[in-house]
Amino acid sequence: MNAPPGFVLTAGAPRFFAVRMALVFSAPMMVNGVALPFFPVWLETLSISDFQIGIVLAVPLFVRVFTAPAAGAHADRLNDRATVLVWSGLLSLATALALFSTQAFWPILLLYSLQGIVYAPYMPIADAVALSGVRRWNVDYGRIRVWGSLAFILATMAGGWLSEVHGGAIVLPAMAFCFALTVLAALIAPRIGRPRRPSPIAALAVSPAGTLRQRDIQLMLVGVALVNASHAMLYAFSAIYWSKRGFSGTEIGLLWSAGVFAEVLLFVFAASLRRRFDLWTMMIFGCLVTIGRWLLFPADMGFAGYFALQCLHAFTFAILHIAVQSRLVERVAEEREGAAQGVYFFYNGIFMALVTFASGYIYAWYGVDGFYLMALVAAAGLACVVAGRLAAPRDRAALLGPE
């Protein structure tokens, strides 16, 4: 039997493992493709203020940092992690349907926070199942994961077109439809039995190993997390801002899709970049591009200018993610891999929640000029990354020269 294009046959794996996992990744990424750009637009149609939008978006980010590890630990104790995917999808769908019944700030905050709690473990558990396939049957993770990114682009483009035709009211039905797809995907997810290793989010409950407590690792993780968090205002208010600038829903969908497509391209050429450039150089370059991106964002750039800025997402996120993951592989033993990913998840979640919360107030006070403050957040991340490079034991001799 021939495998579908983009997949390879792996001996011993469950039937159609790669295809099924591609669908498992695609469904939640379709949720994100609708929710990230357009849920704030729906909130604005309810006359909810900017700082209230920031609160609604930030609270689920806070709570998931603490609830996702518990869900991951529970999944690791089950006979199969896919059970958690089913319950996560069902409960997320229930909260999405419940949002149809309210238009007030406090009920929306409660329901969206509950959604954040029950939806949080879906992607990390899907990652854990896929990585088990990598270890057991030599599955190509990249070829599976890329379908999630393509699904995000499809959902964003469809969401933009639907919002242009039907307005912000279409956002909730689109989200509910995508959550229904997560349930279907969970039902067809490969069943691979009891986990042999803890999932990354479950490993948060374990005390970090000595290597993870090293200053260079901590500074690197904090720095990259701060740079990632500087994207918070983009995620929360870019669609609202572009809509007020007169961009259509389709154009907003194109802008969001451009960033993800650029990210995919960089992942494709990641191996070549790693051969040509030092990991610290890649991180510092990504930090610098991020600062420049936010300094340029308030300018009157038009659609073409913002399209170019969105393509920089390849360098403001993807190159940083590749570099930090590669550095963790170099510095952290394989048996502590889960704990390392858990710490990275924790820092990203906490800083993203804090900056998202603050961005509601910042955007209400300063409008698009608030992106200058996002540049300061990215600059703080750059300072931490540079400090991490200076503290790195393997790099100190090369940086300072012979004594």
Provide the token pair at 192.
């691979």
CATH code: domain 206-403 is 1.20.1250.20
Judge whether 14-202 and 206-403 match in fold.
Answer: yes
| Residue 366 Cα to chain centre, angstroms | 26
Which residue is associated with the tokens 């011993």?
A: 12
C-alpha distances (whole Å) from 299 to each of 97, 230, 371 are 39, 18, 10
pLDDT, residue 198, reads: 64
Residues in the chain: 403
pLDDT, residue 1, reads: 40
pLDDT, residue 384, reads: 97
Tell me how far apart the alpha carbons of residues 47 and 335 are, in angstroms, rounded to a whole number. Answer: 50
pLDDT, residue 403, reads: 31
Q: Convert the pLDDT of each residue in 334-385 to its tens digit.
A: 556 666 777 888 899 999 999 999 999 999 999 999 999 999 999 999 999 9
| Neighbour count for residue 238 (Cβ, 10 Å) | 23
Rg of the chain on CA atoms, in Å: 21
pLDDT, residue 360, reads: 94
CB 13 within 8 A of CB 139: yes
CB 89 within 8 A of CB 183: yes
Ramachandran class of 310: left when φ > 0, alpha when ψ lies in -120 to 50, beta otherwise: alpha
CB 28 within 8 A of CB 123: yes
Tell me how far apart the alpha carbons of residues 27 and 182 are, in angstroms, rounded to a whole number. Answer: 5
Q: Where are the domains of the chain?
A: 14-202, 206-403
CB 179 within 8 A of CB 54: no
* Per-position pLDDT tens, the chain of length 403: 445 544 544 556 778 888 999 999 999 999 999 999 999 999 999 988 999 999 999 999 998 888 877 777 777 777 777 888 999 999 999 999 999 999 899 999 999 999 999 998 888 888 778 877 777 777 777 778 789 889 999 999 999 999 888 888 899 999 999 999 999 999 999 988 766 666 666 655 555 555 566 888 899 999 999 999 999 999 999 999 999 999 999 999 999 999 999 988 888 887 788 888 899 999 999 999 999 999 999 998 899 999 999 999 999 998 998 888 888 877 776 556 666 777 888 899 999 999 999 999 999 999 999 999 999 999 999 999 999 999 887 544 333 333 3
CB 310 within 8 A of CB 252: no
Which residue is associated with the tokens 């991106």?
A: 293
Buried-exposed string 160-175: b where 16+ CB fall within 10 A, e elsewhere? bebbbeeebebbbebb
pTM for this prediction: 0.84
Tell the CATH superfamily of the 14-202 domain: MFS general substrate transporter like domains (1.20.1250.20)
Nearest CA among 289, 291, 301, 295 for reference residue 241: 301
Nearest CA among 97, 88, 83 for reference residue 123: 88
Tell me how far apart the alpha carbons of residues 50 and 361 are, in angstroms, rounded to a whole number. Answer: 7
pLDDT, residue 208, reads: 57
**Measured torsion, CA atoms of residues 210, 207, 348, 217, in degrees rounded to the nearest 10:** 0
Question: One-letter amino acid identity for 231?
Answer: H
- Treating both helix axes as pointing N-terminal to C-terminal, what angle do 17-45 and 50-77 enclose, rounded to 10 degrees? 150
pLDDT, residue 11, reads: 55
